[in-house]
Structure 1
Amino acid sequence: MVLPGMKPRYTEDPNRPGERRLPGFGWLPNRIRHLFISCLGEFVGTFLFLFFAFAATQIANNLLGKNPMNIASLLYISLAFGFSLAVNVWVFFRISGGLFNPAVTVAMALIGAIGWLKAGALMVSQVLAGIAAAAVVSGLFSGPLAVRTSLETHTSVVRGLFIEMFLTFELIFCIFMLAAEKHRSTFLAPIGIGLALFIAELAGVFFTGGSLNPARSFGPDVVLGTFDGYHWIYWIGPLLGAVLAVIFYRLIKTLEYETANPGADGDGQDQSHHDESRASTKYHDTYQTRQMTDGTNETHFATLLQDSKRTLATPPHRTTSSDYGVASAEALPREKISPPLAAFVHGGDGHHSSDGSSDSIDHPNDRPRAQHTRSSRRLSQSNYEMTSDNSYRNGPSAESGRSSS
């Protein structure tokens, strides 16, 4: 924001000319500034993601009261988490990457997408955002804070650990293939990521609370000051899922998974354009070399006709000849030159073409069409033009192939 009287400052980094700088922060190196932007984006994005998810969970659990979880509440909570993640990832994807999860951040660092220093800073921002979101929901919404994750009565700690591991594996592998791997549909990655969390919540909310995110479980416990003895599974389980997703991702990358199903990333447009181009070229070549029924080439014939007209239009002092045997202008007086009959370009389908009009002559590659009406246009004032017109009217009929005289 530049207030009246203030001049905007720009970075002095030659690699990034024209970048605006906040007044008073010209001394800040770009590397530190970028890290600050990423941490700020992760904090705000994680806060918004968990705020809306916690708010919906608070509503559902308070309405349930002491009643057990039902399908309606399960769907409500799962939809809230899935849609909140999809929207906020889409918003913050270009700012910080939209990770919002320490387990996802570790996974991205393991595959080399981000550095470990940045990963550590982002994880701190995410954990702080989880605490802030839980505190705000607790202060704004009535009733006790009911957004903690806990194991279902009949779910053991080991089961809960593996449930969290596999659910997180699904989410992180989805992020790898849709966001980390760049392809035609990368811009739609937030939708797929949100749906991945949605189906994971459907499977896990009832048994473990569906954490998949250490910051999601740690924040409410800090606000309430309550930590279960098995709270560690909400850290170890997602981290194991991250490691498992990285191992599998590295395996298929090493095996060059792109070669197993070639063209799967395409939309069919490139191949169709290639096929159309080949078909067009083939048709063009065939059309150019197509022969007449009498063995002549219609394109060559039309070219000769065009040369003949140009010959007739040359001044008398020039000596020209054509393939039709037109006599030299110097050898014969102009008044004794017999103008040739109008030539007809054969269409190859048993009909004759037009009378050598400008359309068919100026564009010899355009296939002439059969004429079904006689030309009634008279070209006056010129003996040559009158003779050409009479020759055309006495020529063969396009319908019968015989002379009409």
Structure 2
Amino acid sequence: MADNKPAKSWGIQALAEFIGTAMFMYLAIGGAHAVTHGAPQGLGFVLLGNAFAFGIALVVTAWAFFRISGSHFNPAITLSSLITGHINVPRAVLYFVSQLLGAMLGVALVRGTIPSNEYIGQVNAITHGESRARAFFLEFFLTTILCFVYHMIVHEKNRSTFMAALPYGFTIFSCHLFANRYTGASINPARAFATSVAARNFSSDHWIFWFG
């Protein structure tokens, strides 16, 4: 399927990706931070709370922007859309830039609207004895699943905006519930990049969250 969107609409779509990614990151990182910071309920509660924060935030923002830009909010989704021919290279580049800038804005807003002594970063990193190889394939498989689900629900002929947002968000929820303990569940290079920028902390494992 060729990208038949007129070039004059790309700016609006890129703006939607910028605002949508910023909103998604603000709600998701902020919610995950609230659950994680000083949580007395144990690891299970934190993992479940983080997954809910990201899943619900994506449902809300994807529903709002779906008909404008497709609600990618993720360079991996945009790359898969480029590979499958649903968007062209110029539009993909605009989306990439918008997503990175939007993610940085969203994380910056989280950092700016909570007490500075409580900010803990939410930086993606390998934890709990996970090797780099296992972490890479964990991120790779979950990102692949996310992209597959996105394309299955978004490119149906009789698609519903609301129904498309729900399984998209549920997939994010499942991925975060699985991987949060081991990698922080990036499955989104923009998220990994933005949190690292805000925390001024780029680990030696950061490449995994771009190529995994």
TM above 0.5: yes
Shift of 1:32: 4.5
Percent identity of paired positions between Structure 1 and Structure 2: 35
Whether the 8 Å CA contact 2:36–2:50 is kept in 1: the answer is: no
Q: Which stretch of structure 1 is more off in the superposition, 175-184 or 87-96?
A: 175-184
2:13 partner letter: S
Matched, 1:35 2:10: yes
1:278-311 CA deviation, whole Å, 9 max, x = no partner? xxxxxxxxxxxxxxxxxxxxxxxxxxxxxxxxxx
Of 133, 144, 150, the residue aligned with 1:175 is 150
Q: SS of 1:87's equivalent?
A: helix
1:124 partner letter: V
1:41-74 CA deviation, whole Å, 9 max, x = no partner? 000000001100010121122124xx89611111
Q: SS of 1:154's equivalent?
A: coil
Corresponding position of 1:102? 75
1:135-171 CA deviation, whole Å, 9 max, x = no partner? 1111111212331111113001111100001111111
Corresponding position of 2:173? 198
Equivalents in 1 of 2:41, 2:49: separation in Å?
15
Corresponding position of 1:139? 112
Instruction: Map 1:368-383 to 2 at 5 A.
Output: none
Equivalents in 2 of 1:134, 1:233: separation in Å?
20
1:150 partner letter: A
Which has the larger share of helix? 2
Corresponding position of 1:282? none
Q: SS of 1:63's equivalent?
A: coil
RCO comparison, higher one (Cα < 8 Å, 6+):
2
Equivalents in 1 of 2:27, 2:127: separation in Å?
24
Corresponding position of 2:27? 52
Greater Rg by CA: 1
Corresponding position of 2:51? 78
Whether the 8 Å CA contact 1:61–1:146 is kept in 2: the answer is: no
Equivalents in 1 of 2:27, 2:77: separation in Å?
20
Shift of 1:116: 1.1
Shift of 1:181: 2.8
Corresponding position of 1:118? 91
Unaligned runs of 5+ in 2: none
2:31 partner letter: A
1:216 partner letter: R
Corresponding position of 1:128? 101
Corresponding position of 1:219? 194
Q: How high is the TM-score relative to the length of structure 1?
A: 0.49
Equivalents in 1 of 2:53, 2:194: separation in Å?
18
Q: SS of 1:95's equivalent?
A: helix
Equivalents in 2 of 1:176, 1:32: separation in Å?
22
Equivalents in 1 of 2:142, 2:196: separation in Å?
21
Shift of 1:182: 2.3
